[in-house]
Amino acid sequence: MAENIIKTEYSDEMQKSYIDYAMSVIISRALPDVRDGLKPVQRRTLYDMHELGINYNKPYRKSARIVGDTMGKYHPHGDSSIYDALVVMAQDFKKGMALVDGHGNFGNIEGDPPAAMRYTESRLQKITQDALLADLDKDVVDFIPNFDETEKEPEVLPCRIPNILINGSEGIAVGMVTSIPPHNLGEVIDATKAYIENPEITTKQLMRYIKGPDFPTGGIVINKDDLEEIYESGVGKIRIRGKVDVEKGKNGHINVVISEIPYPMIGLNISKFLSDVADLYESKKCTDIVDISNQSSKEGIRIVIELKKDTDAQNFINMLYKKTKLEDTFSVNMLAISEKRPETMGLKEILKRCTAFYYECNRRKYTNLLNKELERKEIQEGLIRACNVIDLIIEILRGSKDRPMAKRCLVEGDTTGIRFKSKESEIMAAMLRFTEKQANAILEMRLYKLIGLELDALIKEHDETMANIFRYEDILERHDSMTQVIVSDLEQFKKEFARKRRTVIENGEEAVYEEKKIEEADVYVLMDRFGYVKCLDEATYLRNIEAANEESKYVVLCRNTGKVCIFTDEGQLHTVKVSDIPMGKMKDKGIAIDNISSYSSKNEQILNLCSQSELNLYRFVFVTEKSLCKIVSGGEFDVSRRQILATKLNDGDRVVSIHVLKDTKNIVMVSNDGYFIRFSIEEISEMKKNSAGVRGMKLSANAVVDSVFYEEIEGSSGFDYRDKTIEFNKIKLTGRDGKGTKLRL
């Protein structure tokens, strides 16, 4: 078979392939459908449970059984994605209304993972069966082939409530993200009814019913005035706080009790919150904390922070709002699939799409029911008519040779070949004109149907069928009747499944707290060779001065209200507040400088440490591997930013030495190939920090400066290099930019 080679532009093919991939992720994986509020994996899992008959009133089934069946029939994307979706639908702390009833360890609000699917069991919740799956047998939605066209699956579930608002949704697609908060079922149903009654209703009027999001974790939404704009546009930020109470503790202490948390704090962020509170104490930013305990259980969240007797509790709570995730934001982006394309919708638009779907489903449902009742009516009328001439029908059946002969007589009046008792019977038989369905029903009718009571029941059943036909036709023909049915369904769901609102909606005041003024004092900042830093008060340092100087690579005297500057070999300057460095004892290890600054020990090496308050007093000498050197005034580095560029570096270059100029008279540069050059420090030009510098030494090919030494006016006679002491006088004093001399070591 000959190959068909298609030549195409590579960029065009990549663009087309990427767009196809992106749309597949957007439509078929990550975003929910506005009609049922479900992503494909969720819809397929629920439908598979429905097909397996795992109903709310039936025994639980192993989650592994559900996951395997869903993966094999409908969702061939791996078991973890299916089980993760199943777990989330069972977690009532994530969903406004859980869709799956989980039995076993399905994780918890503190972020503990669920047990493996071979251990847990699941079944459908009652609301899931009643509101999302009830009418699948009535041709209310289209069914499409599965991935290998061996099964059929619903394109969308026939959802009868706005599930997309009640349960919300979160998902990340290619180039877009959805984040819809959960809402209160009762409020959403009331808003839906209001929209149905008045499609011209405004978002502001809808918010009389939907006050705002109703998070399963409770909490307090504090930007009520912003909600109208968020619901109008479908985009915005909701600010939410945890619920905090103040209680009396033991020994006169004050207990700050957190009973509800912001929705974004679900999971490992609770541990992060506890860690942040502990850091406030350890860093001495808050000295009022006595103890922290997480007393949360299945009954709910309870985090207790014990404070000292005279603590201003409200000021402490405001500090928690400012410094921790006890106040957080929920980013709203109400993006969903509508008519097979992603669209950001406001509250009213979502209700519009949902109600249009309800009308469509009910139209198809009652059309299907009407057709079944018309078919039943046809058969019933045929049986009633047959009972009135039952003797003739029995005579036809007894005189016929086979079923087709009898059926032709009943349908067409064809008496050919049938033996009758009399000519009159034959004439009457020729007048029969039953329909095909009626004839089949007559031929299959059992003798007990001839009993008088059975005939009465048949007539009564026919009357009920006629009443149903009248009702279904009325629903299909009159918009008001259809509306009444939809509203009645919504009211029934509200009556059975609604619960009280958990989240409080208000306009909260900005959290303002007063930091305790730190009494200014001199402290010593000590950093060891491993990058661990700590502060010692002046008395402690002076008592242990020898040990402190011996164990520390850098010792800097500064004020506890000031900052420390860190110069690195990447030419960066990082500033750290002294208040961020924990006060410690001589034996304390300290904290890694990485944790309190923008400095990264993986990519940078510290070359110097100094107090920011002393920058204006000194000048700094910079020397790089490629022998570029310059002098920079310390005032250039006196800035408020946490990180700035301390010097300009050429590609492939790095700083070797940063030295504070005090009484320095000469500088010695040493290359890695053994050349030494000594010249006056005055030959180095003073420049701005953004300049590269001047050349201090001519280097051989592939050679670099690996060491720099400074000769002070007094007190310096030599330096240590490669375990040997070298006298400054052994190196000839020359001018800058020479090759230098090679010494035998």
| HEC assignment per residue over 657-708 | EEEEECCEEEEEEEECCCEEEEEEHHHCCECCCCCCCEECECCCCCCCEEEE
Domain end, chosen from 441, 466, 496, is at 496
Q: Is 434 in the same domain as 486?
A: yes
Q: Which residues are CB-contacts of 529 (< 8 A; sequence separation ≥ 6)?
A: 553
Asked whether residue 488 falls in the same domain as residue 362, the answer is: yes
Distance CA 259, CA 403 (A): 77
Residue 417 and residue 365 share a domain = yes
Tell me whether residue 164 is in a domain: no
Residue 350, domain member (yes or no) = no
The reported pLDDT for the residue numbered 451 is 63
- pTM here? 0.73
What is the CATH number for 465? 1.10.268.10
Return the residue matching tokens 């918010």. Answer: 207
Distance (Å, whole) CA 57 – CA 105: 20
CA–CA dist 289, 275 (Å, integer): 13
- What are the average pLDDT values for consecutive 10-residue runs of the chain, which has 745 residues? 71 70 67 93 95 94 96 91 95 92 93 93 95 92 91 94 94 84 96 95 95 94 94 95 91 90 89 87 79 88 90 89 91 92 94 95 94 88 79 78 82 79 78 83 71 72 90 93 95 94 90 71 91 90 90 90 91 90 84 87 89 89 94 90 90 92 90 92 92 92 92 83 87 91 80
Q: What is the CATH number of the domain that holds 99?
A: 3.90.199.10
624 and 716, same domain (yes or no)? yes
Same domain for 538 and 460, yes or no, is no
How many distinct structural domains can be found in the chain? 5
Among the listed residues 273, 183, 255, 185, the one whose alpha carbon sits nearest the alpha carbon of residue 221: 183
Same domain, 479 and 522: no
Domain that holds residue 404: 358-496
Residue indicated by tokens 């139209």: 363
C-alpha distances out from residue 35 to 164, 206, 571, Å: 8, 19, 56
CA 112 from centre of chain: 16
Task: Let me know if residue 7 belongs to a domain.
Answer: no
Residue 203 three-state SS: helix
Same domain, yes or no: 395 and 482: yes
Pick from 16, 170, 11, 173: nearest CA to 95: 170
Single out the catalytic residue among 119, 209, 448, 618: 119
| Cα–Cα distance, 93 to 502 (Å, whole number) | 12
Structure tokens, 344: 């950001």
Q: Looking at the structure, do residues 365 and 489 belong to the same domain, yes or no?
A: yes
Active site residue 321: no
The predicted structure's pLDDT at residue 561: 86
Cα separation, 620 vs 636, whole angstroms: 10
Residue 31 lies in a domain: no
- 486, 559: one domain: no
Q: Alpha-carbon distance 441 to 387, whole Å?
A: 12
444-451 long-range contacts (CB < 8 A, ≥24 apart) are 445/383, 445/386, 449/383, 449/387, 450/387, 450/390
- pLDDT at position 453: 53
277-281 long-range Cβ contacts below 8 angstroms, 24+ apart: 277/305, 277/320, 277/324, 280/319, 280/323, 280/324
CA distances from 565 to 376, 531, 682, 683 (A): 89, 14, 25, 27
In angstroms, how far apart are the furthest CA atoms of the chain?
149
* Residue 147, in any domain of the structure: yes
One domain for residues 623 and 734: yes
Q: Is residue 655 part of a domain?
A: yes
Same domain, 627 and 586: no
The answer to whether residue 76 is domain-embedded is: yes
Q: Is residue 172 situated within a structural domain?
A: no
Residue 83 sits in the same domain as residue 119:
yes
- 548 within 8 A of 536, measured Cβ to Cβ: yes
Output the domain CATH number for residue 320: 3.30.1360.40
CATH number at residue 676: 2.120.10.90
